[in-house]
Amino acid sequence: MTETRYTKDHEYVRVDGEVAIVGISDHAQQQLGDVVFVELPVVGAKLGKGASAAVVESIKAASDVFAPVSGEVVEVNAEVDAQPGLINEDAMGRGWILKIKLANPSELAALMNQSEYDAFLKSLA
């Protein structure tokens, strides 16, 4: 099973070979509320780690989704474009936002694993 890593901004990344699937965590979608719009990046865009990759708008706020790793956008989730609420229904599954071909796989080491992310969430409470 592929390990999921997290950022302090609540993005997740799940690596499949040299491609990283990126989305927002279940915690993030709960905080946002009902997602009504997603602005996806352009396929082929080159993103640096920490760069704004997408925007998720909810009934409460608009939030940037930052690239947890650097690389090239190789796919965006057209299903989420058509049905933004998928992020609320299945943030960690069908509600993924983009896929990035990793430019520097070593960047993954700086991200939190599941237990570290869970501890981070508890520290916010």
pLDDT, tens only, 38-73: 999 999 999 999 999 999 999 989 999 999 999 999
Backbone phi, psi, residue 55, to 5°: -130, 135
Q: Is residue 1's pLDDT more than 70?
A: no
Distance CA(99)–CA(80), nearest Å, equals: 13
Overall average pLDDT of the 103-111 stretch: 95
Q: Is residue 111's pLDDT more than 90?
A: yes
pLDDT given for residue 2 in this prediction: 72
Structure tokens at 24: 């927002």
pLDDT given for residue 125 in this prediction: 79
Cα atoms found within 13 Å of the Cα of residue 59, Cβ hemisphere only: 5
pLDDT given for residue 3 in this prediction: 86
Domain boundaries, the chain: 4-104
pLDDT given for residue 13 in this prediction: 97
The answer to whether residues 118 and 8 touch, using CB atoms and an 8 Å cutoff, is no
The answer to whether residues 97 and 24 touch, using CB atoms and an 8 Å cutoff, is yes
Q: Mean pLDDT, the chain, as a whole number? A: 95
Overall average pLDDT of the 75-98 stretch: 97
Question: What fold does the segment set 4-104 form as a domain?
Answer: OB fold (Dihydrolipoamide Acetyltransferase, E2P) (2.40.50)
Overall average pLDDT of the 9-17 stretch: 94
Q: What percent of the chain has pLDDT over 90?
A: 94
